[in-house]
């Protein structure tokens, strides 16, 4: 099993969800997160003072897939749908997952994913 985490622009939420749905990736977790990278944030006027906003709002997708084949399909779908070509498009991480359990049935491993 492989866990994929993708941090993308907020405005790409629906595009990524649609792309994952189109390749039949069903189990996803989505969170609103804050982060910074090369984009470095922006300046804003707050109560008359200029303030550096260095943490930007992003969307984090967490997906667990069963094989390397599904890992590649999932990563390709996310990359294509989240791409704008500008700094701040995000990152995709993947790593091996040691185990999974469905709480209701106590199924483990691959069976817990389906």
- Residue 48 sits in a domain whose CATH number is 3.30.70.120
pLDDT at 95 (0 to 100): 96
40 pLDDT higher than 70: no
- Give dist(CA 110, CA 22) in Å, integer: 21
pLDDT at 56 (0 to 100): 85
42 pLDDT higher than 80: no
pLDDT at 35 (0 to 100): 84
Question: Between the CA of residue 42 and those of 56, 84, 107, 109, what are the distances in Å?
Answer: 9, 19, 47, 44
Strand residues in 1-114 grouped as ranges (E): 2-9, 28-35, 42-46, 49-53, 56-65, 90-96
> Mean pLDDT across the stretch 47-73?
88
The rounded mean pLDDT for the chain is: 91
Range of the domain at 100: 2-113
15 pLDDT higher than 90: yes
Q: Is the pTM of this model over 0.75?
A: yes
pLDDT digits (tens, 9 = 90+) for 98-112: 999 999 999 999 899
pLDDT at 62 (0 to 100): 98
pLDDT at 39 (0 to 100): 65
Q: How many domains does the chain have?
A: 1
């Amino acid at each position: 099993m492989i866990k994929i985490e993708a941090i993308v622009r907020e405005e790409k939420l629906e595009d990524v969800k649609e792309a994952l749905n189109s390749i039949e990736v069903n189990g996803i977790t989505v969170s609103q997160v804050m982060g910074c990278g090369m984009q470095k944030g922006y300046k804003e006027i707050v109560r008359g003072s200029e303030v550096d906003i260095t943490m930007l709002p992003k969307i984090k997708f967490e997906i667990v897939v069963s094989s390397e084949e599904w890992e590649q399909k999932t990563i390709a779908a996310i990359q294509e749908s989240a791409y704008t070509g500008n700094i701040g498009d995000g990152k995709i991480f993947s790593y091996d997952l040691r185990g999974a359990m469905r709480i209701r049935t106590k199924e483990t491993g691959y069976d817990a994913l389906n």
